[in-house]
């Protein structure tokens, strides 16, 4: 897959995963412009994470981590004052190759990114299903058996794993580390390890580590 240019939306605590929806409220002028122009084009935005220390240069171009995820605007509502409420659905993981210089009149940042293929091969499908079952069993134990009402059994294995990585209460750097994992099988195994460590740290086997939003 070849590299492409995408507008980037850097945030300090948000990590987007492939095929997972993310609701966003857009209020800064530069990101209103970004959304407006994206809606006139392919509706794609790249979500990236700000590096620590961004506060001193937040209005400029503070450093970001080189790994992110592109997303498609699937739902949008433009408010009367120019703000937007929208839903961004993750498309594919990418690595930033080069950040572009801003065009005249453009307030937001953009970058050339290379997509990272996370497709699951037919030979890996069984291993992925087994890892999903391990993860669901662990979560059911930690949530006291209440997980079934929150998780759809009809979801494809990789979509469920990505959704849990995004919406369970891992801290931001843990989520970035999960995104960095090479594909859903490795991501699922890392999530199991994180949950087991948190379970050991809590000192109780039936106390959940977070909630699924």
The CATH number of whichever domain residue 53 belongs to comes to: 2.30.130.40
Instruction: Give domain status of residue 210, yes or no.
Output: no
Please indicate, yes or no, whether residues 132 and 188 belong to a single structural domain of this protein: yes
Say what the pLDDT of residue 205 is. 44
Q: Do 140 and 106 belong to one domain?
A: no
Please tell me whether residues 79 and 172 are part of one structural domain.
Answer: no
Instruction: Please say whether the beta carbons of 194 and 148 come within 8 A.
Output: no
Residue 212 lies in a domain: no
Q: Are residues 27 and 98 in the same domain?
A: yes
Q: Where are the beta strands (DSSP E) in 60-108?
A: 64-78, 84-99
pLDDT at 156: 92
- With respect to residue 209, please indicate whether it lies within any of the assigned structural domains: no
Tell me the whole-structure pTM to 2 decimals: 0.88
What confidence score (pLDDT) does residue 213 get?
33
Tell me, yes or no, whether 90 and 154 share the same domain: no
User: Which pLDDT belongs to residue 151?
Assistant: 61
- Is there a single domain that holds both residue 10 and residue 97? yes
Same domain, 8 and 75: yes
**Are 29 and 80 in a shared domain?**
yes
Last residue of a domain, one of 82, 100, 116: 116
Domain count within the chain: 2
Question: Residue 188: exposed, middle, or buried by beta-carbon count in 10 A (0-12, 13-18, 19+)?
Answer: buried
On whether the CB atoms of residues 209 and 195 are closer than 8 A, the answer is yes
Residue ranges making up the domain that contains 20? 4-116
Provide the 3-class DSSP secondary structure of residue 120.
coil
- Residue ranges in the chain modelled with pLDDT below 70: 1, 144-152, 203-213
Going by C-beta distance under 8 Å and a sequence separation of 6 or more, which residues neighbour residue 120? 128, 157, 158, 183, 184, 185
The confidence score (pLDDT) of residue 31 equals 96
């Amino acid at each position: 897959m070849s590299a492409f240019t995408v507008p980037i939306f850097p945030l300090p605590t948000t990590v987007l995963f492939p095929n997972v929806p993310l609701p966003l409220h857009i209020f800064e002028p530069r990101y209103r412009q970004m959304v407006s122009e994206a809606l006139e084009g392919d509706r794609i935005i790249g979500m990236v994470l700000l590096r620590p220390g961004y506060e001193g240069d937040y209005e400029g171009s503070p450093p970001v981590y080189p790994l992110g995820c592109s997303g498609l605007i699937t739902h949008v509502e433009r408010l009367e004052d120019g703000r937007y409420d929208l839903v961004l659905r993750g498309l594919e993981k990418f690595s930033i190759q080069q950040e572009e210089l801003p065009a005249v009149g453009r307030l937001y940042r953009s970058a050339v990114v290379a997509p990272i293929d996370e497709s699951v091969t037919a030979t890996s499908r069984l291993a992925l299903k087994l890892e999903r079952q391990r993860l669901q069993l662990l979560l059911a134990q930690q949530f006291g058996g209440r997980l079934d009402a929150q998780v759809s059994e009809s979801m494809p294995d990789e979509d469920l794993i990505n959704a849990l990585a995004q919406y369970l209460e891992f801290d931001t750097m843990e989520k970035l580390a999960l995104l960095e994992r090479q594909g859903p099988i490795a991501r699922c195994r890392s999530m199991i390890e994180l949950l087991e460590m948190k379970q050991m740290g809590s000192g109780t086997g039936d106390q959940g580590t977070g909630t699924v939003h």
